[in-house]
């Protein structure tokens, strides 16, 4: 005990020795604390989150060790009244400012870890609270700034806060984008108009992809070509965009595409054409029902002309029944095969239906099969698919000239 008193008196007798001792205590405590907190942080964080980021774990350990070491140095300094009053005030102020900054940074790291824990739950997969967490971080730094000013001026934090009223207009101007983004983030998140992993499309910006992050100032989108786009959050209140996510939840993805018929190949149906087509099972019932309702007598060719039955009409009914018979098209949703206004490129016939699968690969496969079948079966109805003359067409023309 006497040895400890002698060591204490020896260190307290000189301001230089006290400073060296405090610095040594600071370093030793920081290194030991960092090692201990690093192990504790790895074990605790693995229990609450799936955090595997070593950088974040090391950051938490360093800041925790800094808080402990600075707190210990402040306590030891009170036991060594070697410095002058002015030096003690300066030393305590610097250590307190450093302590406040580390505590604020540690709180913000805790908020980041809370985001990871929140997003790791399956029920919160499509909801993002990152915008609110960033507002909380700004609040932490504002409080930190107020406490540092209050500490350096020896004033109450309430007095510092009351003085901010005079510069409120300046703060509003400086943080105008932050305030706009905050309001936009609340409207976007609470309105459920946009969630994580939604497929959105912004035609004006040529952006189409999946939302991977909703932050305070920006919304990050991974485009389908694996590029990354960041859009200001406030733009989603004014810019036109399309959210395709409800399409996935509806259970049907729309096909809306036309094929073009050469108008010169459209003609009235004949008895010979009907005879050829009656062997087709999907078309047999519509043909028999049409003929039974007509109560026609006499020449069937004249009846077809008088009732306006064309080969294109029969083809549309055939395609309609064939699509209904497919298992990958929703028969309980809109299913239409219709002619559109004629164009210089031919007479458009539009197929409007919904596929059962909403995934892109299955959707494109179903759509391709339908239009490949249309192109292959049109000739059996004496119809020609229109296309612009190609080099092969021109070479055939020369053969007949």
Residue 341: the pLDDT is 92
Q: What distances in angstroms separate CA 78 from CA 12, 66, 183, one per listed residue?
A: 11, 19, 48
Residue 364: the pLDDT is 92
Residue 26: the pLDDT is 66
Could you tell me the residue ranges of all domains in the chain? 1-118+129-155, 198-249, 253-267+310-394
Beta strands at 253-261 and 336-339: parallel, antiparallel or unpaired? unpaired
Residue 65: the pLDDT is 75
Q: What is the 3-state secondary structure (H, E, C) of 93-156?
A: HHHHHHHHHHHHHHHHHHHHHHHHHHHHCHHHCCCCCHHHHHHHHHHHHHHHHHHHHHHHHCCC
Residue 236: the pLDDT is 75
Q: What is the CATH number of domain 253-267+310-394?
A: 3.30.70.100
Residue 295: the pLDDT is 58
Strand intervals (E) in 295-393? 336-339, 347-355
Q: Which CATH fold topology does 198-249 show?
A: SH3 type barrels. (2.30.30)
Supply the pTM of this predicted model.
Answer: 0.53
The strand pairing partners of 351, in sequence order, are 257, 337
Residue 75: the pLDDT is 72
Give dist(CA 370, CA 374) in Å, integer: 6
Q: Contact at 8 Å (CB) between 283 and 323?
A: no
Residue 337: the pLDDT is 92
Per-residue pLDDT of the chain (401 residues; tens, 9 = 90+): 555 455 545 455 555 556 666 667 667 776 776 677 667 766 666 655 555 556 667 777 777 777 777 777 777 666 666 566 666 677 777 778 878 888 888 888 777 777 776 665 655 555 566 667 777 777 787 788 878 877 777 777 776 666 666 566 666 666 666 667 766 766 666 556 677 888 888 888 888 888 888 777 788 889 988 889 888 877 777 778 888 877 877 888 899 999 999 888 888 888 787 777 777 666 666 666 655 655 555 667 777 777 778 888 888 888 888 888 888 899 888 999 999 999 888 899 999 999 988 888 899 999 999 999 999 888 888 888 888 776 565 566 655 55
Q: What are phi and psi of 381, to 5 degrees?
A: -100, 15
Q: What distances in angstroms separate CA 131 from CA 50, 90, 324, one per listed residue?
A: 21, 38, 47
């Amino acid at each position: 005990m006497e040895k400890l008193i002698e060591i204490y008196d020896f260190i307290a007798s000189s301001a230089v020795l006290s400073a060296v001792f405090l610095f040594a205590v600071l370093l030793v405590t920081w290194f030991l604390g960092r090692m201990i907190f690093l192990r504790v942080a790895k074990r605790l964080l693995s229990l609450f989150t799936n955090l595997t980021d070593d950088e974040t774990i090391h950051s938490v350990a360093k800041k925790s060790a800094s808080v402990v070491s600075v707190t210990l140095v402040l306590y030891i300094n009170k036991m060594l009244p070697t410095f002058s009053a002015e030096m003690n005030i300066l030393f305590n102020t610097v250590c307190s400012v450093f302590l406040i900054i580390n505590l604020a940074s540690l709180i913000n790291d805790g908020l980041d870890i809370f985001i990871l824990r929140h997003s790791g739950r399956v029920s919160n997969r499509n909801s993002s609270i990152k915008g609110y967490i960033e507002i909380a971080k700004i609040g932490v730094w504002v409080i930190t700034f107020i406490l540092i000013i209050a500490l350096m001026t020896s004033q109450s934090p309430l007095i510092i806060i009351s003085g901010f009223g005079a510069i409120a207009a300046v703060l509003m101007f400086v943080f105008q984008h932050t305030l706009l983004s905050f309001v936009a983030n609340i409207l976007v998140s609470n309105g459920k108009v946009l969630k994580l992993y939604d497929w959105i499309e912004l035609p004006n910006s040529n952006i189409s992809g999946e939302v991977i992050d909703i932050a305070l100032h920006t919304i990050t989108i991974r485009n389908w070509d694996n590029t990354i786009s960041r859009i200001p959050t406030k733009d989603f209140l004014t810019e036109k965009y399309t959210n395709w996510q409800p399409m996935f939840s509806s259970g049907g993805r729309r096909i809306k595409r036309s094929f073009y018929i050469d108008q010169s190949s459209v003609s009235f149906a004949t008895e010979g054409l009907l005879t050829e087509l009656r062997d087709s099972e999907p078309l047999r019932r519509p043909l028999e029902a049409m003929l039974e309702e007509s109560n026609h007598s006499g020449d069937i060719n004249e009846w077809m002309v008088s009732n306006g039955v064309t080969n294109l009409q029969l083809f549309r009914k055939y395609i309609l029944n064939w699509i209904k018979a497919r298992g990958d098209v929703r028969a309980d949703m809109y299913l239409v095969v219709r002619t559109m206004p004629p164009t210089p490129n031919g007479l458009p016939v539009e197929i409007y239906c919904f596929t059962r699968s909403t995934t892109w690969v299955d959707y494109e496969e179903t759509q391709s099969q339908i239009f490949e079948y249309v192109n292959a079966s049109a000739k059996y109805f004496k119809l020609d698919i229109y296309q612009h003359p190609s080099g092969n067409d021109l070479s055939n023309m020369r053969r007949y000239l």
